Structure 1
């Protein structure tokens, strides 16, 4: 059974084109991810450093938001400054 995967990028290239000139592929995508296809199926995504860093920042924000929501439900513990 063949698995069909969606292409999750507006820009695509073949592995052959990526091998020929990787920087040209990245520059043509204008800062956006590029789906690298093998036999018309996405094999991996080439993500520029700025986009990757922004993605990691957003993931961290999501994790921190979840942590804050979990801690809002916890009982408060009173501490004096002298105990610190």
Structure 2
């Protein structure tokens, strides 16, 4: 059995009947669209998708910061007013 990462779910056949109604009904909650009782995909609003993209970008930046902190001994001190 697959884990479903949404509080709301709908069958693929019901979803196909009126996808826009499913989106309206869900509001800002993600919806798992099921095919043979297994998640085929998740439907999210543009707002939630933007949150995912921002979180991934933040995660990438965190990785860069951690990597650069390991190279702190090679850093050059500068005066912000002269840059």
TM range (shorter): 0.7 to 0.9
- Following TM superposition, where does structure 1 have runs of at least 4 consecutive aligned residues deviating by more than 6 angstroms? none
**2:9 is matched with which residue?**
12
Unpaired segments ≥5 residues, structure 1:
none
Task: Decide which of 29, 33, 36 is 2:30's aligned counterpart.
Answer: 33
**1:77 is matched with which residue?**
76
The TM-score normalised by the length of structure 2 is 0.83
The TM-score normalised by the length of structure 1 is 0.82
Task: Decide which of 31, 45, 69 is 1:48's aligned counterpart.
Answer: 45
In 2, Cα distance between the equivalents of 1:51 and 1:79?
40
Unpaired segments ≥5 residues, structure 2:
none
In 1, Cα distance between the equivalents of 2:54 and 2:75?
29
In 2, Cα distance between the equivalents of 1:24 and 1:47?
13
